[in-house]
Amino acid sequence: MIAARICSCSNIKCSAARESSSFDVCRYKNCQWQAVALVTPFVGVPLYDLSVSGALKTFTNTGTVSGNGVARHFRSD
């Protein structure tokens, strides 16, 4: 099991059953705005291999170039 913290407070943790299958960056304006950066790095992991613990709130951003919604997950408290 590969584990990583995704929140600096340690309340949210994720783990994957195997190494990531891909790594890339997103350059779309929507991701730049969310990350406050020129690119947003991400790791590709199949959902069936991913486990997330901790309470999350979800915001779905629909203002994307493709028109597809992007779910943004945040700590709930």
Give the amino acid at 71: A
**If you search the block for the tokens 């901790």, which residue do you land on?**
54
Domain enclosing residue 54, as ranges: 2-75
Confidence category of residue 1, pLDDT binned at 50, 70, 90: low
Query: How many structural domains are present in the chain?
Result: 1
- The per-residue pLDDT for range 20-63, each reduced to its tens digit, is 768 888 877 777 777 788 888 877 888 888 888 888 888 888 87
